[in-house]
Amino acid sequence: MQLKLVLLLQLVMATAMAQQVDSIHQLAPRTVADFQKDFYIGEPQVSYSNKIVWKRALKAPLILTALSLYSFTDNEAFDKHEVKEIRDRVSPSFRHHADNYLQYAPVAAVYGLNLAGIKGKNDFTNRTMLLTKSMLLVAAITYPLKTITAVPRPDTGQRNSFPSGHTATAFAAATFMAKEYGHINMWYSIGAYTAATGVGAMRILNNRHWITDTLAGAAVGILSTNIAYLTHQYKWGHHRKHNASQTIVVPAYDGQTGMVSIVHVLH
């Protein structure tokens, strides 16, 4: 039953997002290529102007933010209290810590694929700097919002629920993997975003967050990685000697647990 509820919440989040994307573009023709560019699961196109690139980068975060705000309202379609009532009725005792680790799975997958010889879009140094910038942006956006909004958590009432830091980290990591490997095979992106959606669902099932928090967290994560990539100058490591070693430190914090990843590569 718990597994079914996880899958149901994943489906609700994914379906709601897909419906909003479809409704926004009813007046404009959509193609598979357009969808791939929006979610970084197709061959990247470099011919687009900066304005169009930024519009694509902001599209999903804006949709998710709109859904989050809508779920704050008293409505019959998508109400945060109704989602919590379903959770309390179906699986009130659900407790699992997998989301603490699953949020970093796409990052581990990117470096694992690279070690296995499957090259991504960027070299080690630029890839790691992009990840670092993305995670710093997540922290810079998430924690001030937690303080400003002071939304009580559904379990403890502690006023730091909005947005979900776990979900923001998970979607930042998923977008990172989609950027690095989505142009090679769309399933890399699909797998990464599925894992991230699972983190959001588990935050709700663990009664740590409202669905509003997880939707906003997803928006923050995607936006952070998009900004990191769009503003990166790709100058890192260009003058590095080929026989030099590399050590990169990547900080991460989800509101409860701090983590520092140290990656050292010898040449």
Note whether 165 and 217 are within 8 A (CB).
yes
- Neighbouring residues of 15: CB distance < 8 A, sequence distance ≥ 6: none
Nearest 5 degrees, angle CA 147-CA 64-CA 68? Answer: 55
Mean pLDDT of 241-264: 50
Q: What global pTM score does this model have?
A: 0.78
How far apart CA 152 and CA 155 sit, in angstroms, is 8
DSSP 8-state class, residue 46 = S
If one compares 38 and 28, the residue with the highest pLDDT of the two is 38
Which pLDDT does position 251 carry in this prediction?
53
Task: Record the tokens describing residue 220, joined without a space.
Answer: 């923050």
Amino acid identity at 144: P
Q: Give the model confidence (pLDDT) of 90-101 as tens digits.
A: 999 999 999 999
Q: Give the model confidence (pLDDT) of 141-167 as tens digits.
A: 999 999 999 999 999 999 999 999 999
If one compares 240 and 69, the residue with the highest pLDDT of the two is 69
Q: Tokens 């400003």 identify what position?
A: 148
- Which of 71, 20, 102, 66 has its CA nearest to residue 211? 71
Which pLDDT does position 234 carry in this prediction?
82
Which pLDDT does position 39 carry in this prediction?
57
- Neighbouring residues of 102: CB distance < 8 A, sequence distance ≥ 6: 170, 195, 198, 199, 202
Query: Which segment of 29-38, 67-76, 230-239 scores lowest on mean pLDDT?
Result: 29-38
Task: Record the tokens describing residue 209, joined without a space.
Answer: 């967050």
What is the sign of the dihedral through the CA atoms of 158, 162, 164 and 165?
negative
Task: Record the tokens describing residue 11, joined without a space.
Answer: 């489906």
Q: Give the model confidence (pLDDT) of 225-236 as tens digits.
A: 999 999 998 876
The half-sphere exposure of 264 on its side-chain side, counting CA atoms within 13 A, is 1
pLDDT higher than 60, residue 140: yes
Q: Give the model confidence (pLDDT) of 78-127 as tens digits.
A: 899 999 999 999 999 999 999 999 999 999 999 999 999 999 999 999 99
pLDDT higher than 60, residue 46: no
